């Protein structure tokens, strides 16, 4: 990827400060064991980074800290561009709202207590913006459907549109496709790659699926478990087409899996 | 565009997604509305017809003399006589307006009370179990005390209705809030909802199904309490509600009137539930995919 290909403001940000910066991050809950032990990482603006690890590596905890939902025990977390967008493994759509209304609520809350946020004009504007965002994930025809009327993949796309509605510089994703069937997951990989390429948003993607990490990321950070540390970094240097079945993806996946297994065997 | 191009072209991906969406979306029930309506109307009508048949059979078998067990036709004659006299419409209006007024006041009292119990830990510790305990106390138990406090006045009746309905509605609110999925609260935080904003956009709508169930039960308790109070508290100052009309039947040993009033009280209670609360609940649940169409 060349610099000129990214959105102009992302280029500016890239030369200035990283989009995400984590320094010596330590987290423990109450008097429990260490969950994260001295995690440091930097993510450039417009980069796609995958955090990979087995259960108990604290990847979800790390993401919660990045999202500002929790406070670190020590160390610092800096995310530029204000609030980060967050997607969970569950779509977590509000069941009493239609797809469009779910997105509109995110827009409404992003506006905060701005004056005129409740006016009819503002509402119409939010509706139009929500439809535009739903069109980005190709769900403009499902705007007035309720979550229970949508399939798992469609719900997750609405959740993606809702996360984008927060106009985040950084999109945090916590195993968002783990609960989907393989065909849908594959299509959503394409969709996410396309979206990332078009918007220049920074993505931090948490997964326990090695191939998924290699399929999507520019960089894969491997984490150890109990306590969580970053033990290895892989730059995914695959040109052109990249699919979950690509030999290049498979080759790197084997290498990472070996390292991951070695890490897990330490706990035997 | 970065070099990392998508594997498939834009159009292919778009049509792929639309195909997948079509495959994974369920098709709505396409039976015409009257066919679906038939399925919900016919079974209860059959059940009522069956009960009437059993009743008629018992009358014809002369299980009890007819002044103790009147036939459906006699009860019907008695009810239509009261209707034509104008006593029944007046009694229905008096009881229903009292019941709905008492219910409305109960809602106004119980809603903030429920919110308080659900959200403030000290309040819950203090009166939470008392509130659910009160639900098991038959509200007719309040009638003697209310008569001693307020005499034979409309106030007595309202107090009994209130004490019957408030615990149900407040408990419904508490249950509704307790049953909110933590994930939805988390989403609210991620989207930036705090305090009152979170209450308005997340907590209250999420608690609605439980609250509506509480309202439904609250109405049932209001109506029951009202009838208990009307049956016991008799005074010209109270007018003639359905309960009092039934008591008149008892005094006259007019079994047809007593039976007729039982049926009317049942029908009015069911009608209000079916016309107001059940549709509200059904729409709410169906929208959330929690009930069958």
Residue ranges of the domains in chain B? 68-287
Which of A90, A191, A241 has its CB closest to that of B13? A191
Domain end residue (candidates: A167, A182, A216) = A167
Instruction: Examine the domain organization and report whether A260 and A139 are in the same domain.
Output: no
What is the rounded CA–CA span in Å between residue A25 and residue A10? 26
Instruction: Examine the domain organization and report whether A80 and A175 are in the same domain.
Output: yes
Instruction: Examine the domain organization and report whether A186 and A247 are in the same domain.
Output: yes
Instruction: Examine the domain organization and report whether A162 and A176 are in the same domain.
Output: no
- Domain range holding A42? 3-84+168-265
Instruction: Examine the domain organization and report whether A187 and A238 are in the same domain.
Output: yes
Q: Which residues of A fall within a CB distance of 8 Å from B201?
A: 105, 108-109
The 10s digit of each residue's pLDDT in B46-79 is 999 999 999 999 999 988 888 888 999 999 999 9
Q: Which residue is closest to B11 within chain A, CA to CA?
A: A138
Of A9 and B34, the structure prediction assigns the larger pLDDT to: B34
The CA distance from A221 to the nearest CA of chain B, in Å, is: 20
DSSP tag of B61:
T
* Residues contacting A167, CB < 8 A, separation 6+: A110
Sign of CA dihedral A129, A134, A140, A142: negative
The 10s digit of each residue's pLDDT in B203-229 is 999 999 999 999 999 999 999 999 989
Percent of chain A past pLDDT 90, that is, above it, reads 15
Q: What is the mean pLDDT of residues B81-88?
A: 92
Query: Hey, is the C-beta of A118 within 8 angstroms of any chain B C-beta?
Result: no
Chain centroid to Cα B200, Å, comes to 24
What is the rounded CA–CA span in Å between residue A105 and residue B260? 53
Instruction: Examine the domain organization and report whether A153 and A44 are in the same domain.
Output: no
Query: Hey, is the C-beta of B287 within 8 angstroms of any chain A C-beta?
Result: yes
The 10s digit of each residue's pLDDT in A9-44 is 444 444 467 888 888 888 888 888 888 888 888 898
Q: Does position B33 have pLDDT exceeding 80, yes or no?
A: no
Q: Which residue is closest to A193 within chain B, CA to CA?
A: B6
**Degrees, nearest 5: CA angle A32-A37-A40:** 145
Query: Hey, is the C-beta of A117 within 8 angstroms of any chain B C-beta?
Result: no
Domain end residue (candidates: A122, A152, A167) = A167
- Point out the least confidently predicted range of A72-76, B25-29, B150-154, B184-188: B25-29
Do residue A5 and residue B16 have CB atoms under 8 angstroms apart? no
What is the rounded CA–CA span in Å between residue B286 and residue B280? 10
pLDDT for residue A6: 34
Q: Does position B246 have pLDDT exceeding 50, yes or no?
A: yes
Q: What is the mean pLDDT of residues A256-263?
A: 85
The total number of structural domains that make up chain A:
2
Do residue B183 and residue A240 have CB atoms under 8 angstroms apart? no
Query: Hey, is the C-beta of A245 within 8 angstroms of any chain B C-beta?
Result: no
What is the rounded CA–CA span in Å between residue B115 and residue B193? 18
Instruction: Examine the domain organization and report whether A123 and A141 are in the same domain.
Output: yes
Q: Write out chain A in H/E/C secondary structure.
A: CCHHHCCHHHHHHHHHCCCEEEEEEEEECCCCCEEEEEEEEEECCCCEEEEECCCCCCHHHHHHHHCCCCCCCEEEEEECCCCCEEECCCCCCCCCCCHHHHHHHHHHHHHCCCCCCCCHHHHHHHHHHHHHHHHHCCCHHHCCCCHHHCCHHHHHHHHHHHHHHCCCCEEEEECCCCCCCHHHHHHHHHHHHHHHHHHCCEEEEEECCHHHHHHHCCEEEEEECCCEEEEEEEECCCCCCCCCCCHHHHHHHHHHHHHHHHHHHCCC
The 10s digit of each residue's pLDDT in A75-107 is 888 888 767 888 988 889 999 999 999 999 998
Sign of CA dihedral B69, B72, B74, B75: positive
* CA-based nearest residue to A196, from A95, A45, A86: A45
Instruction: Examine the domain organization and report whether A103 and A138 are in the same domain.
Output: yes
Write the CATH number for A190. 3.40.50.300
pLDDT for residue A14: 47
Using DSSP bridges, classify how beta strands A202-207 and A48-52 pair: parallel, antiparallel or unpaired. Answer: parallel
The 10s digit of each residue's pLDDT in A37-65 is 888 888 988 899 999 888 777 888 888 88
What is the rounded CA–CA span in Å between residue B16 and residue B31? 30
**Most confident by average pLDDT, A73-82, A137-146, A188-197, B51-60:** B51-60
The CA distance from A262 to the nearest CA of chain B, in Å, is: 31
Do residue B7 and residue A83 have CB atoms under 8 angstroms apart? no
pLDDT for residue A7: 40
What is the rounded CA–CA span in Å between residue A12 and residue A2? 13
Instruction: Examine the domain organization and report whether A152 and A98 are in the same domain.
Output: yes
Domain end residue (candidates: A111, A135, A167) = A167
Percent of chain B past pLDDT 70, that is, above it, reads 95
pLDDT for residue B92: 94
pLDDT for residue A103: 93
Q: Does position A111 have pLDDT exceeding 80, yes or no?
A: no
Percent of chain B past pLDDT 90, that is, above it, reads 45
* CA-based nearest residue to A60, from A263, A204, A167: A204
Using DSSP bridges, classify how beta strands A48-52 and A219-224 pair: parallel, antiparallel or unpaired. Answer: parallel
Instruction: Examine the domain organization and report whether A188 and A68 are in the same domain.
Output: yes
Instruction: Examine the domain organization and report whether A217 and A241 are in the same domain.
Output: yes
Q: List, edge to edge, every strand of the sheet that includes A34-43.
A: A34-43, A20-28, A74-79
Instruction: Examine the domain organization and report whether A134 and A204 are in the same domain.
Output: no
Do residue B193 and residue A109 have CB atoms under 8 angstroms apart? yes
Q: Which long-range contacts (CB under 8 A, 24 or more apart) does A68-72 make?
A: A69/B186, A69/B189, A69/B190, A70/A27, A72/A25, A72/A26, A72/A27, A72/A36
Q: Does position B4 have pLDDT exceeding 60, yes or no?
A: no
**8 Å CB contact between A187 and A31:** no
Fold type of domain B68-287? MetI-like fold (1.10.3720)
């Amino acid at each position: 990827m060349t610099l000129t290909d990214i959105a102009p403001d992302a280029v500016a940000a890239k030369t200035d400060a990283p989009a995400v910066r984590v320094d010596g991050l330590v987290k423990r809950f109450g008097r429990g064991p260490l969950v994260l032990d001295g995690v440091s990482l930097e993510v450039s603006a417009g980069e796609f980074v995958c955090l990979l690890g087995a259960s108990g590596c604290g990847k979800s905890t790390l993401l919660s800290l990045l999202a500002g939902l929790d406070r670190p025990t020590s160390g610092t977390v800096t995310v530029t561009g204000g609030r980060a967008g967050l997607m969970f493994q569950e779509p977590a759509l509000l069941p009493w709202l239609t797809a469009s209304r779910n997105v509109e609520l995110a827009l409404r809350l992003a506006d905060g207590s701005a004056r005129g946020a409740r006016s009819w004009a503002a509402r119409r504007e939010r509706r139009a913006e929500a439809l535009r965002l739903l069109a980005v994930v190709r769900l403009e025809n499902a705007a007035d459907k309720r979550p229970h009327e949508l399939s798992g993949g469609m719900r997750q796309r609405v959740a993606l549109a809702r996360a984008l509605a927060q106009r985040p510089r950084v999109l945090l994703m916590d195993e968002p496709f783990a609960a989907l069937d393989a065909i849908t997951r594959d299509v959503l990989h394409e969709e996410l790659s396309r979206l990332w390429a078009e918007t220049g948003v920074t993505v931090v993607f948490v997964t326990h699926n090695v191939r998924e990490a290699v399929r999507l990321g520019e960089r894969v950070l491997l984490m150890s478990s109990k306590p969580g540390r970053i033990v290895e970094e892989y730059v995914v240097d695959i040109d052109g087409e990249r699919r979950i079945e690509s030999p290049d993806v498979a080759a790197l996946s084997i290498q990472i899996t070996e390292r991951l297994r070695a890490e897990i065997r330490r706990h035997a | 565009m970065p070099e990392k191009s998508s594997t498939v072209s834009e159009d292919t991906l778009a049509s792929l997604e639309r195909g997948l969406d079509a495959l994974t979306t369920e098709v709505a029930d396409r039976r015409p509305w009257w066919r679906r309506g038939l399925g919900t109307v016919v079974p209860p009508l059959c059940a009522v017809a069956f009960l009437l048949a059993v009743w008629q059979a018992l009358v014809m078998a002369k299980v009890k003399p007819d002044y103790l067990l009147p036939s459906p036709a006699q009860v019907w004659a008695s009810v239509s006589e009261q209707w034509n006299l104008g006593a029944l419409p007046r009694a229905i209006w008096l009881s229903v307006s009292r019941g709905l007024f008492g219910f409305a006041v109960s809602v106004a009292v119980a809603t903030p009370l429920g919110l308080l119990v659900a959200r403030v830990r000290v309040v819950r510790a203090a009166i939470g179990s008392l509130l659910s305990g009160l639900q098991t106390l038959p509200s007719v138990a309040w009638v003697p005390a209310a008569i001693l406090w307020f005499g034979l006045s409309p106030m007595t009746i309202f107090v009994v209705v209130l004490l019957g309905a408030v615990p149900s509605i407040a408990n419904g609110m508490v249950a509704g809030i307790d049953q909110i999925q933590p994930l939805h609260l988390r989403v609210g935080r991620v989207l930036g909802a705090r305090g009152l904003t979170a209450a308005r956009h997340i907590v209250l709508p999420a608690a609605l199904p439980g609250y509506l169930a509480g309202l439904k039960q609250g109405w049932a308790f209001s109506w029951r309490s009202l009838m208990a109070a009307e049956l016991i508290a008799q005074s010209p100052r109270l007018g003639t509600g359905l309960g009092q009309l039934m008591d008149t039947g008892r005094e006259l040993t007019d079994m047809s009137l007593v039976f007729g009033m039982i049926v009317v009280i049942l029908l009015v209670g069911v009608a209000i539930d079916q016309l107001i609360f059940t549709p509200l609940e059904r729409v709410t649940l169906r929208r959330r995919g929690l009930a069958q169409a």
